[in-house]
Amino acid sequence: MIKISDSRFLVSTPAPNAASLWTALGQRAQPVGSSCWDWLNIRSGIPVILPQTQEQFVAQMVNLELLGGVNFNKGCYPGQEIVARMQYLGKLKRRMYLAHLSGSGAPQAGDELFSAEMEGQTCGMIVNAAPAPGGGYDVLATVQISTRETQAAHWKSLHGGTLEFLPLPYPLPGV
């Protein structure tokens, strides 16, 4: 069992034990579907890299170094040189933020974001999206740090829905 937060756990068990474990857990916990789990990951600021976003980010762009998802003291791993260079020598231009998007369209991982300051170029990308219980969608999105600080980010075009940034449950460096 892995503790995700004070109210979420990930349990892995051999198939023969699953039915009895499900019954026992059901007496003390509320089972929810995968869409709720996805939304809880988003609200927790935990990204899930999907095929649409594979190879789009370095670890720091999606806050993995803040979540313990990168160990800079560990041995070799794929991409280590780029990740370490960004950590020790680089200047991060994009960071992942939590946001809400109102409207009827459903944002998808990999959807591009735009801002007036970027003059037709993308200022970011949707990492993950899930329906929010109160309507609209909550998203994790990588956004130019300068855009987040001074401009509005829009979904799919400058005329698309505006992201309403929300606080992450963990602090970002320099914020």
Q: Please provide the average confidence, as pLDDT, over all residues in the chain.
A: 87
Residue 84 has pLDDT above 60, yes or no: no
Please report the pLDDT score of residue 91 as a whole number: 74
Sign of CA dihedral 91, 96, 98, 99: positive
Q: Any idea which of 47-51, 84-88, 108-112 has the lowest mean pLDDT?
A: 84-88
Q: Tell me: the pLDDT tens digits for 85-104? A: 555 556 778 999 999 999 87
- Categorize the per-residue pLDDT at 59 as very low, low, confident or very high, splitting at 50, 70 and 90: confident
Q: Which domains does the chain have, with CATH numbers?
A: 59-166 (2.40.30.160)
Q: Which of 124, 110, 106 is nearest to 161 (CA)?
A: 106
User: Where is 5: in which H helix or E strand?
Assistant: strand 2-5
Q: Tell me: the pLDDT tens digits for 12-43? A: 899 999 999 989 988 988 888 889 999 999 99
46 touches 37 (CB < 8 A): no
94 touches 47 (CB < 8 A): no
Task: Kindly list the distances between the CA atom of residue 65 and the CA atoms of 33, 83, 112, 119, 133, in Å, as whole numbers in the listed order.
Answer: 28, 10, 24, 31, 29
Highest mean pLDDT out of 2-11, 57-66, 94-103: 94-103
